[in-house]
Amino acid sequence: MPRFCIIYNPTSNKGNAGKILPLVRQELDRYGMDYELITTQYIGHALELAKQAAVDGFDAVVAAGGDGTANEVINGLMFDRKAGSHTPALGVLPIGRGNDFNYSVGGPKNWQESCRILSRAATRWIDIGCIKGGLYPEGRYFGNGIGIGFDAVVSFIAARQRITGFAGYLVAALKTMYVYSPAPVVSVEIENETITQPSLMINVMNGRRLGGGFMIAPNGDAHDGVMDICLTKGVGKFKTLCLITKFLQGTQYTQPEIIGRRVSKVTVRAVKGTLPIHADGETIAIECDQVEIELLPAQLKMYLSKAGAE
C-alpha cells in the first residue's frame, strides 16, 4: 500500500478549506489509506513539506488546496527530481478557489472523487513547465500556465478580493480593464519565429484553463509534450470586454487580435513597458524585462483517472 503525505492548506478558498478538514480525514479513512496529513502554516510551507516528504520516502505527495498549493508542491517535487533523488507521485485534492490545474490535467471536479482516485493507485506522467526571470532567475516550475500582462494583473487583483472562485476572477478582469494600460510592446521569440507587437496579454499554457473558467488553451494537454501560447494584441476597453466573452467560450482564436502557436520553448522580452507575470496564479514579477519559458515533458507521475494510467 502506498504511503501518502497529504499537504493541507487550511487557508485555501478564503479559509473554507479549514472548515471541511474533518470531512476530508473521514473520506481518506473510509478508503483505508496509509497517510500523514500536515497543515501548512505560511506561504512557501507546502514547497518545503513536499521536499521533506521526498526525503522521508513517501510514495506520493498530495496537494490539498488550490492552484497555489499545487504549484508549491510541484516545485518541491521538481527540486527533488532535479537533485536526482526519489521523487514521489503527485496527487491533488481540489479544495481551492479556481482549481485550474486539477481541471487542466483531467482531475475530478470534487475532492471526494479525488480521494477515491488516490485509493486506486493509478498514475500517469504529466509535463511540467519552467519559467526563468523576475523573482526566479534560476527558475520556477508550473503545472498549468503562465500569464503575462493583463492576465497577471487580474490574478493579482483577484487574490486580494473577498469574492472567491470564478466570480472573483471575472470581477477582477472587469476591474483590470480600467487600471491596466497601455499594453506593453513585446518581442516573443518562438523557435524560428519572432513576433513583435503591443500585447494586451500573453499566455503560455501546459494546461487548458485559468481564472476558474477562462479557456485560454481549449486544446491544451499536459501530457502531449508541447505548450500552447496565446498572444492577444493591444486593444481598447470595448474590444477587451468582447474578447473576455470569447475566452470564456474558448472561441478566441476566431478573432484577428489573437495569435496561437504550439511551442516547447519561448522567450518574451519587453521592448516598451514592463511585464507583470504570474505562474499558476503565483507572482513571478510585478515588473520584468524578460522571461524564458520551457516545457519539460513527462516529469511527474500523477494520480489520475484518465485512460493511459500505469
Q: What CATH number is associated with residue 229?
A: 2.60.200.40
Report pTM: 0.92
pLDDT digits (tens, 9 = 90+) for 157-191: 777 766 666 777 777 777 777 677 778 899 999 98
Domain edge (last residue) among 121, 147, 173: 121
pLDDT at 309: 38
Average pLDDT over residues 1-27: 93
Q: Is residue 67 part of a domain?
A: yes
Residue 310 covered by a domain = no
Residues in the chain, overall count: 310
**What is the end-to-end Cα distance of the chain in Å, rounded?**
16
Cell of 254: 476566431
Q: Is the pLDDT of residue 121 over 80?
A: no
**What's the domain count of the chain?**
2
Are 159 and 216 part of one and the same domain? yes
Where residue 310 falls among pLDDT bands split at 50, 70, 90? very low
Q: According to the model, what pLDDT value does residue 164 have?
A: 63
The answer to whether residues 148 and 134 touch, using CB atoms and an 8 Å cutoff, is no
**Burial state string for 168-178 with b = 16 or more CB within 10 A and e = fewer than 16:** bbbebbeebbe
Cell readout for 282 is 503565483
In a shared domain, residues 7 and 72: yes
User: Domain containing 114: what range?
Assistant: 3-121
Query: Does the residue 308 lie in any domain?
Result: no
Last residue in a domain, options 98, 121, 144: 121
Rounded to an integer, what distance in angstroms lies between the CA atom of residue 219 and that of residue 207?
Answer: 9
Per-residue pLDDT averaged across 134-158, rounded?
90
Give the residues across from 4 on adjacent strands: 35, 60
Dig out the grid coordinates for 265 from the structure. Answer: 520553448
Q: Are residues 112 and 148 both part of a single domain?
A: no
Q: Which residues contact 192 (CB under 8 A, 6 or more apart)?
A: none
Q: What's the chain's average pLDDT?
A: 91
Q: CB neighbours (10 Å) of residue 11?
A: 19
**Is 91 inside any structural domain?**
yes
CATH number for 9: 3.40.50.10330
pLDDT tens column, 98-114: 899 999 999 988 999 99
Average pLDDT over residues 303-308: 69
Same structural domain, 85 and 203: no
d(CA 141, CA 131): 6
Assess whether 99 and 154 both reside in one domain: no
> pLDDT tens across 187-232, in order?
999 988 999 999 999 999 999 999 888 899 999 999 999 999 999 9
**Together in a domain, 166 and 65:** no
